[in-house]
């Protein structure tokens, strides 16, 4: 029923009256849903989106599944809709790399729910969200009770102590709209991997089941954060933490293989002069109960002994093929009934069986078969189906390295086996040798920025890199909306350098402004920059390039005040350019639609170019100056485009336009900008008092 309700939102034939009638029928049945205190009669005042969401929530309850209930609970979509998008100010001094490199990656300083709403151009574009939220330990989680009514309130609230009786409901109220927005940011094939410890593990799992659906749970990673017993608990040492992994759509998500190790590949070599390395493999398969016709004896040409599949197994190929493989060792085979309760066996033609009087080493039939098989064994480059242990073992199959998938699957305590197909992760444990441990993460951070960073828990690079390898494609986008010390960005850069991948990252971090510690700039950006430059701090505190530089760059952007038409029209030119760069995306090439900014002051109108060589122009010199695309402005734009070797069409932002042509794409200020930031005109009309006044002033100036 929930899926049917979602479908209503995409069916244009579904009228508002039909939606309202559906809600009224549920209301009359005694299943009224209180939308901010509104009665049944108030359904007439709700928008289409609100009506659809209410149907989804109502039908979700009808399913009879487990749903959490806690004080102050509100639908997350309702909270998110109240969050006002923010403008962003690009901080050039904190950004790093060329304009092209900066356009690839982004670090945003600001509150993460506001940032997720403001990063509208990335909505539905992210491949992997990998994040580490506050754990509700009584040390790092703050909650502002005013957020329950106004999620835009700038106060972070007080620290929630470990003995606060409502700490769990506060944590859930904090997390739910953020998890909702994380899902909105993911591609249909995207994956969320969220770190947590035992304090909120169960509640977070239920929250993710509710928002993503239990059927989209990929698995729970149990990683070993320490490998020595710790005396921090009365009964059990807390040596592990968890990563909950959910797909937005399980049918469209992929779990990738990890790189094979050198030790795995060394088990493959040529024992017989075969030009391709191999190792002994099995010729049997499970399923003896259902494949009884494939459980029978075969006779060895080396010893004359009979070989059956082991208990519970059967031969892995049809009898006709088995007979051909046996024949490749120099003897003709025939089917013979041994009266052993199994189907007819494959026996060397004319040879006696073990236990019969003629079964002797000098028997002509056995001797001929043995000599033929030994000659093939001595010649080398044996048939693919072969007798193991120099002919004294069982009948097996060569397993070639080039036939094995070039990777290993993530599974419980990775063993030394080779897997032909990926498996579901399920409930997975990763030892510290495979995932690193917390102290390693702290040491890695200290090596980059020095020891006085103030972080007591840092996820190790190995853990984060491993998750990215598995669930983000080589050209994908990774988002971390609780970025902390920037481990996720460091891991992306490191993986790109190792494999030649082109993954990109988006980090969101607010720091601790209540302590005067805006470490998004003093720590997060610093670590990422030093990861790129190769700079490290030695034990004596000296900074030098002692690590391999990692190619890349990033743009540092600070969330400013809430955006509306008046705020946009009050911007100076450089501020307007910052906003255009952060709001721009292209429908045709959305995931790669980053603009390369040109140096300030070099052109009157041109401010950026796309990867395809198209120019972006701004007719704007401040809020009190005319902003009109007319013939004179167009001529200047054409000249600037020719000087820079740009191609058509010309993308032009201006307040109004009196010139049009086939080679012009006109974007009206502020409407186009607000639209790209995710504003819905039905809820937040573009026209404001500030806009009207500024528009009149501009017209008067012209």
What is the C-alpha separation between 592 and 594, in angstroms, rounded? 6
pLDDT tens sequence across 326-362: 999 999 999 999 999 999 999 999 999 999 999 998 9
Average the pLDDT over each of 75-89, 237-251, 434-448, 535-549 and give the range with the smallest value. 434-448
Does residue 9 have a pLDDT over 80?
Answer: no
Residues 586-617: tens digit of each pLDDT: 655 554 557 888 887 889 999 999 888 999 99
Cα separation, 346 vs 366, in Å, equals 14
Q: What number of other Cβ atoms are within 10 A of residue 321's Cβ?
A: 12
If one compares 248 and 4, the residue with the highest pLDDT of the two is: 248
pLDDT at 294: 94
Q: Where does residue 255 rank: exposed (0-12), middle (13-18), buried (19+ CB within 10 A)?
A: middle
pLDDT single digits (tens) 442-483: 555 555 545 564 555 557 788 888 889 889 999 999 999 998
Q: Report the pLDDT averaged over residues 647-660.
A: 91
pLDDT, tens digit, 9 for 90 and up, residues 355-370 = 999 999 899 999 999 9
Closest CA to 121 of 579, 670, 612, 501: 579
CA distance 63 to 73: 19
Under the banding of pLDDT at 50, 70 and 90, the label for residue 371 is very high
CB 60 within 8 A of CB 47: no
pLDDT at 41 over 60: no
Backbone Cα Rg of the chain = 33
d(CA 339, CA 107): 76
CB atoms within 10 A of CB 259: 11
Split at pLDDT 50, 70, 90, the class of 50 is: low
pLDDT at 327: 96
Instruction: Specify the pLDDT at position 456.
Output: 53
pLDDT tens for each residue of 517-555: 677 888 888 889 988 998 887 777 777 887 889 999 999
> What torsion do the CA atoms of 134, 140, 144, 148 make, to the nearest 10 degrees?
20
Of 149 and 195, the one with more pLDDT: 195
Query: Using CA atoms, how far apart are residues 351 and 335, in angstroms rounded to an integer?
Result: 12
Residue 588, pLDDT score:
58
pLDDT of residue 384 exceeding 50, the answer is yes
CB of 134 within 8 A of CB of 167? no
The pLDDT of residue 57 = 58
**What does pLDDT average to over the chain?**
78
pLDDT at 695 over 60: no
Token digits of residue 594:
């980053």
Position 35 scores a pLDDT of 43
CB-based contacts of 62, cutoff 8 Å, min separation 6: 1, 31
CATH domain 81-259+413-417+420-557 topology: Rossmann fold (3.40.50)
For residue 394, the model assigns a pLDDT of 93
Percent over 70 (pLDDT), the chain: 74
Sheet holding 385-387, edge to edge: 278-281, 395-400, 385-387
The whole-number pLDDT of residue 38 equals 47
Please check the confidence at residue 37 and state whether its pLDDT lies above 80. no
The confidence score (pLDDT) of residue 231 equals 57
Q: Answer yes or no: is pLDDT of 268 > 60.
A: yes
Alpha-carbon span 116 to 129, nearest angstrom:
12
Which letter does DSSP use for residue 249 in this model? S
Q: Which of 216-225, 276-285, 412-421, 484-493 has the lowest mean pLDDT?
A: 412-421
Residue ranges, comma separated, of all CATH 3.40.50.150 domains in the chain are 81-259+413-417+420-557
d(CA 511, CA 518): 5
- Label residue 579 exposed, middle or buried (CB < 10 Å: 0-12, 13-18, 19+): buried
**pLDDT confidence of residue 408:** 46
Q: Given this model, what pLDDT does residue 146 score? A: 78
Indicate whether 303 pLDDT > 60. yes
Q: Is 605 helix (H, G, I), strand (E, B) or coil?
A: coil
Q: Residue 433's closest CA among 471, 466, 408, 405? A: 466
Portion of the chain with pLDDT greater than 90, in percent: 35
Q: 132-141, 241-250, 442-451, 621-630: lowest mean pLDDT where?
A: 442-451
Question: How many C-beta neighbours within 10 Å does residue 32 have?
Answer: 15
CA atoms within 13 A on the CB side of 420: 5
Q: How confident is the model at residue 495 (pLDDT cuts 50, 70, 90)?
A: very high
pLDDT band at residue 310, thresholds of 50, 70 and 90? very high
Mean pLDDT: which of 74-83, 232-241, 266-275 is highest? 266-275
Q: What per-residue confidence (pLDDT) applies to 32? A: 41
Measured CA to CA, the distance from residue 627 to residue 654 in angstroms comes to 5
């Amino acid at each position: 029923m929930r899926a049917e309700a979602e479908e209503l939102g995409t069916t244009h034939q579904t009228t508002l009256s039909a939606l309202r009638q559906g809600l009224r029928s549920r209301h009359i049945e005694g299943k009224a849903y209180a939308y901010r205190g509104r009665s049944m009669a108030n359904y007439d005042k709700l928008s289409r989106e609100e009506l659809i969401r209410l149907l989804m929530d109502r039908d979700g309850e009808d399913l009879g599944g487990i749903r959490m209930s806690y004080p102050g609970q509100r639908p997350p979509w309702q909270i998110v809709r109240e969050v006002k998008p923010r403008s962003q100010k690009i901080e050039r001094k904190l950004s790093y790399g060329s304009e092209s490199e900066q356009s690839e990656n982004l670090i945003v300083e600001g509150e993460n729910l506001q940032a997720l709403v403001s990063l509208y151009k990335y909505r539905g574009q992210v491949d992997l969200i990998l994040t580490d939220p506050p754990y509700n330990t009584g040390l790092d989680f703050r909650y502002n009770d005013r957020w329950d009514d106004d999620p835009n309130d700038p106060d972070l609230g007080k620290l929630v102590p470990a003995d606060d009786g409502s700490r769990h409901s506060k944590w859930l109220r904090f997390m739910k709209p953020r998890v909702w927005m994380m899902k909105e940011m993911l591609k249909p094939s995207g994956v969320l991997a969220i770190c947590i410890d035992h304090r909120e593990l169960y509640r977070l799992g239920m929250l993710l089941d509710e928002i993503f659906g239990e059927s989209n749970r990929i698995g729970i990673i149990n990683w070993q954060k320490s490998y020595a017993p710790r005396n921090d608990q009365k009964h059990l040492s807390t040596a592990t933490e968890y990563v909950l992994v959910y797909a937005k759509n399980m049918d469209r998500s992929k779990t990738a293989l990890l790189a094979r190790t050198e030790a795995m590949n060394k088990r493959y070599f040529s024992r017989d002069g075969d030009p391709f390395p191999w190792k002994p493999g099995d010729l049997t398969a499970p399923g003896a109960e259902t494949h009884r016709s494939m459980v029978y004896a075969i006779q060895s040409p080396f010893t004359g002994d009979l070989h059956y599949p082991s208990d519970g197994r059967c031969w892995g190929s049809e009898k006709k093929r088995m007979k051909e493989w046996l024949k490749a060792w120099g003897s003709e085979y025939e089917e013979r009934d041994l009266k052993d309760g199994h189907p007819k066996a494959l026996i060397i033609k004319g040879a006696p069986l073990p236990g019969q009087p003629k079964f002797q080493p000098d028997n002509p039939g056995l001797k001929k078969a043995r000599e033929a098989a030994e000659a093939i064994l001595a010649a080398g480059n044996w048939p693919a189906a072969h007798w193991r242990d120099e002919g004294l073992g069982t009948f097996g199959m060569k397993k070639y390295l080039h036939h094995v998938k070039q990777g290993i699957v993530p599974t419980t305590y990775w063993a030394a086996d080779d897997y032909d197909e990926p498996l579901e992760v399920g409930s997975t444990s990763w030892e510290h040798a495979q995932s690193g441990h917390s102290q390693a993460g702290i040491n890695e951070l200290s090596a980059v920025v020095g020891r006085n960073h103030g972080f007591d828990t840092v996820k190790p690079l190995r853990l984060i890199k491993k998750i990215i390898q598995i669930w983000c494609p080589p050209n994908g986008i990774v988002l971390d909306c609780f970025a902390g010390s920037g481990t996720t960005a460091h891991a992306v850069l490191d993986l790109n350098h190792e494999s030649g991948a082109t993954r990109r990252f988006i980090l969101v971090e607010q720091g601790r402004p209540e302590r005067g510690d805006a470490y998004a700039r003093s720590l997060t950006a610093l670590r990422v920059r030093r990861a790129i430059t190769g700079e490290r701090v030695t034990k004596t505190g000296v900074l030098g390039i002692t690590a391999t530089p990692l190619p890349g760059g990033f743009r540092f952007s600070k969330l400013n005040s809430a955006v509306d038409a008046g705020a946009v029209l009050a911007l100076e030119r450089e501020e307007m350019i910052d906003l255009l760069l952060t709001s721009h995306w292209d429908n045709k090439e959305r995931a790669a639609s980053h603009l390369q900014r040109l140096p300030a002051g070099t052109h009157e109108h041109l401010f950026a170019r796309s990867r395809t060589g198209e120019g972006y122009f701004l007719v704007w010199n401040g809020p009190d100056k005319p902003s009109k695309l007319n013939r004179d402005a167009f001529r200047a734009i054409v000249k600037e485009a020719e000087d820079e070797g740009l191609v058509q069409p010309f993308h032009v932002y201006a307040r109004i336009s009196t010139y049009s042509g086939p080679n012009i794409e006109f974007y009206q200020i502020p409407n186009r900008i607000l639209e790209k930031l995710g504003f819905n005109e039905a809820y937040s009309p573009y026209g404001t008092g500030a806009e009207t006044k500024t528009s009149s002033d501009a017209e008067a100036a012209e």
